[in-house]
């Protein structure tokens, strides 16, 4: 392919979505394909900004029709998937494509995209305690959901070494994080 895909990988609460939102402002020339999810829309979210919100029935139909580059059931309940066609079209036309994914998505995409066309950046917090605080403060979730996310977080931290780069996202220093991610992207595409 002519383009390059950059995946922002990391545990829940690491700030992947915040980094992606700032990259969109800083680099509108890049392509930011949307994912689909069956999770409920959070306060402040809008359909078609970061996600397309599907019913479980719609999502399952998309799976049957091979509409996703990757998909997974996350935290044992909600479906997430990266819509394939716009992403592949962008890569084939030589664009720089950036997307956030969880570890399951990362594994699936690595099997389907040539390593020469892919760069992975692990976004993390200074420590696990801070990640848990971010998850709790981000949105109201049940104790059961929190335990699921903690379990996932520990597994995801162990995968940091599988990524090409690691960037720490410290509280209050999102600008620095975005600058570091942007430098990585620029160095890979020039």
Read off φ and ψ for residue 150, nearest 5 degrees. -65, -45
Per DSSP, helices labelled H in 34-81 are: 56-64
Cβ distance 152 to 146 under 8 Å? no
Classify residue 30 by its DSSP letter: S
Per DSSP, helices labelled H in the chain are: 16-26, 56-64, 84-92, 103-112, 128-138, 143-157, 174-189
Please state, as a whole number, how many other Cβ atoms lie within 10 Å of the Cβ of residue 64.
Answer: 8
pTM score: 0.83
Q: For the chain, 190 residues long, give each residue's pLDDT as a single digit of tens.
A: 799 999 999 887 788 889 999 999 999 999 999 889 999 998 888 999 878 999 999 999 999 999 999 998 876 789 989 999 999 999 999 999 999 888 878 988 999 999 999 999 999 887 667 666 766 666 667 778 777 777 777 777 778 889 999 999 988 899 999 999 999 999 999 8
List domains and CATH numbers for the chain: 4-189 (3.40.50.300)
Helix (H, G, I), strand (E, B) or coil at 77: coil
């Amino acid at each position: 392919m002519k383009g390059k895909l950059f995946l922002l990988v990391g545990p829940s609460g690491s700030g992947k979505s915040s980094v992606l939102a700032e990259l969109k402002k800083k680099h509108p020339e890049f392509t930011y394909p949307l994912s689909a999810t069956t999770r409920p829309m959070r306060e402040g979210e809008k359909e078609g900004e970061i996600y397309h919100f599907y019913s479980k029935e719609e999502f399952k139909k998309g799976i049957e029709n091979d509409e996703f580059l990757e998909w997974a059931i996350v935290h044992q309940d909600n479906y997430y998937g990266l819509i394939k066609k716009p992403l592949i079209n962008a890569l084939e036309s030589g664009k720089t494509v950036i997307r956030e994914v969880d570890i399951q998505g990362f594994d699936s995409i690595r099997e389907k995209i040539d390593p020469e066309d892919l760069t992975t950046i692990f976004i993390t917090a200074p420590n696990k305690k801070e990640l848990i605080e971010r998850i709790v403060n981000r949105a109201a979730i049940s104790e059961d959901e929190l335990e699921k996310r903690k379990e996932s977080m520990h597994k995801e931290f162990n995968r940091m070494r599988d990524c090409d780069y690691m960037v720490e996202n410290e509280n209050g220093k999102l600008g620095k994080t975005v600058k570091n991610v942007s430098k990585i992207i620029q160095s890979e595409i020039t």
